[in-house]
Amino acid sequence: MMKTENSSERDNARVDTSRRSFAKTGMAVPVIMTLASQPVLGRPCLSNIISGNLSDPDRGECSLGNSPGGWGSFNNGETRDGVLFQDQVSSFSSTLDERISVNAKWETHNSDGDSIEVEGNIQIVFTGTVNTKRYNWASDIFHYGDLAIKTGSITSFLDSSGGPLTKVDRDGATVEQDEVKLTGNTTTPVNPIDGTDIPDGNKKIKLDDDFENAHNQCNHFTGGTLYSTAFGASPLETDDKPMREILCTNENTIDFHLVAAMLNAHHYSSYILTVAQVKGLRDGSVAYPSHYDELNDFLDDTWTDI
């Protein structure tokens, strides 16, 4: 990633003499310029960028893109100019049936009708549904990620032999146990539906308790298009991971900025950069305007905060 070696005045002079576009189906198609032997950014609005003037970003048929925050955050149907940031493209449902083994205590009654506590190893059975939704970014080229929405409840407690956990009520009848409290667990069990810890203590865990996992944040997703798939090369500063994850967890890195630029270049035909130019900025074959100290500073000026 290199800056142009020429001064901004020479850049402007070359831009002024090189700004050409051809009408095609009502859209302006830019001609990419070169500066010395190294390509420099060539959308028709480059003079705005080089001069540092983005007060009129649409001059020259170009427009600002979305920020990394706009692309990365799960916007759940929110739009910019009527276009979804992420769009659900498919969904499927599956059955959830999971058991966790825990040490617990529960109340029962002795032959005299007195309440007593019994302790032992049991299983807690969770059943429900997993509705998995697949989302693509608005350009519909890259996969944002899969969102698993889990809903369900505790449907039974099982004893150490795998049969229903029972208790004796005050009247001496044997009935299904409907609540327990955890105790003496060396590791904290995790609720398989909502992902929360189930700690030891006096909080009662009851039959038919309902749960639902959180499903409204970027980090609740799994999968998605890898950085290397989009760029044809590994990230510069992070391990190869889904582009969504880079936008969620690697704020202000070069990769964070490049992913947003790549999404903008694919989605907006009028964005300041082309897909090839974004890739060139990554590998240094394309230079960014010389009055910017860092590539990140330049890219920040190519989008609007969302």
Q: What is residue 39's predicted lDDT score, i.e. its pLDDT? A: 60
* Least trusted range by pLDDT, from 11-25, 118-132, 173-187: 11-25
Exposure string for 168-202, b = 16+ CB within 10 A, e = fewer: beeeeeeeebeebbbeeeeeebebbbeeeebebee
Q: pLDDT at position 83, please?
A: 59
CA gap 188, 279 in Å, rounded:
46
Full-model pTM = 0.74
pLDDT at 25 (0 to 100): 27
pLDDT (tens digit per residue) in 255-298: 999 999 999 999 888 898 999 999 999 999 988 888 889 999 99
Position of tokens 């969620």?
248
Mean pLDDT along residues 205-227: 93
> What is the pLDDT averaged over residues 98-127?
95
Tokens of 37: 């032997």
User: What percent of the chain stands above pLDDT 90?
Assistant: 58
Taking only the tens place, the pLDDT of each residue in 114-171 is 999 999 999 999 999 999 999 998 778 899 999 999 999 999 999 999 999 999 998 9
pLDDT at 196: 95
Instruction: Give the CB-side neighbour count of residue 182, counting CA atoms within 13 A.
Output: 19
Residue 121 amino acid letter: N
CA neighbours within 13 Å on the CB side: how many for 144?
31
Closest CA to 89 of 131, 136, 132, 130: 136
Task: Output the pLDDT for position 168.
Answer: 95
pLDDT at 2 over 80: no
In this predicted structure, what is the pLDDT of residue 217? 87
Q: Write out pLDDT tens, residues 31-90.
A: 333 333 456 565 555 555 555 555 555 455 678 888 998 888 887 656 566 556 788 889
CB-based contacts of 53, cutoff 8 Å, min separation 6: none
Rounded distance between C-alpha atoms, residue 235 and residue 255, angstroms: 6
Take residue 114 and report the two structure tokens written for it.
């007195």
* Backbone angle region of 105, left / alpha / beta, with phi > 0 → left and psi within -120 to 50 → alpha: beta
Tell which wins on pLDDT, 226 or 20: 226
Whether residue 186 is predicted with pLDDT greater than 60 in this model: the reply is yes
pLDDT at res. 121: 97
User: What is the distance between the alpha carbons of residues 166 and 217, in angstroms, rounded to a whole number?
Assistant: 40
What are the extents of the domains in the chain? Answer: 2-73+225-304, 86-216
pLDDT averaged over the chain?
A: 82
Parallel, antiparallel, or unpaired: how do β-strands 221-222 and 287-288 relate?
unpaired
pLDDT of residue 291: 85
pLDDT at 1: 62
Cβ-based neighbours of 93, under 8 Å, separated by 6 or more: 129, 130, 131, 132
